[in-house]
Structure 1
């Protein structure tokens, strides 16, 4: 028998991939998670063309296997950007330097939403779905 917290956790873990509770409603370049399961490392561009300029992550959402490292690589477009987990589990430095990288390994199944602090309101948001 589940208590209320365990029941909520069980329900959250069974949400279908791509169910982001409106997270991507204002994200111009979101078209569902890109399947990158089975890859050891995945690269996401920071400053890809979206939301009226270099204000997107490309791709906006990726599906990966547990143990995958996601490496964000700055394009140099759209000014200074960062990558911050919604909830604060990780954060990169703020930079505009093309070629700069930041990496995070995702071991546990679940969904991590992230954003660029200065451009979040413009729709510069992403997600990593592990499962």
Structure 2
């Protein structure tokens, strides 16, 4: 079946409008911060995460840090950005959904968000240590992240 020019433009215009709305205007956070080496357990855990470059962003001494959920990576919008961060005890990490239906689940059960779209989830990290997390529907694609909480 051939489409008329009017039908084609209506379909393409509608698709563009939906695609433009899907992010809710949110952007991947950008930090002017140095990187630091990560523990071997983080490097190993994130080894199949396509956008992980072997280090964490050093975001210590901040009260709150944003992580995008549904950033571009891992064969689609299946990434956390940044994938690995280092923070101080008492820092709140705020995960903000920018695309798609995802969740945030700590591998040790410390925290877990709902599965959905256009969500915001936060957790305050009080104890030093390494926390690894993933998106349950997209873990197989490498949608994983890590938070390293430095010692006080």
TM-score by length of 1: 0.82
How far 1:96 sits from its partner (Å)?
Answer: 1.8
Judging by fraction of residues, say which structure has more strand.
1
1:18 shift after superposition: 3.5
Cα 1:43–1:21, aligned 2, differ >3 Å: closer, same or farther? closer
Residue in 1 aligned with 2:48?
A: 26
Could you say which structure has the higher helix fraction?
A: 2
Contact 1:18 1:33 in 2 (8 A): no
Task: Report how far residue 17 of structure 1 moved.
Answer: 2.9
Task: State the distance in 1 between where 2:43 and 2:69 align.
Answer: 23
Larger of the two Rg values belongs to structure: 2
Q: Separation in 2 of the partners of 1:62 and 1:129?
A: 6
1:127 corresponds to 2:146: yes
Q: CA RMSD in A?
A: 1.2
Give the secondary structure class of the aligned counterpart of 1:22: helix
Q: Which runs of 5+ in 1 are unaligned?
A: 1-15
Q: Is the CA contact (8 Å cut-off) linking 1:49 and 1:56 kept in structure 2? A: yes
**Structure 2: any 5+ residue segments left out of the alignment?**
1-36
Q: Which has the higher contact order (CA 8 A, sep 6+)?
A: 1
**Stretches (4+) displaced over 2 A:** none
Distance 1:49 1:66 in 2: 29
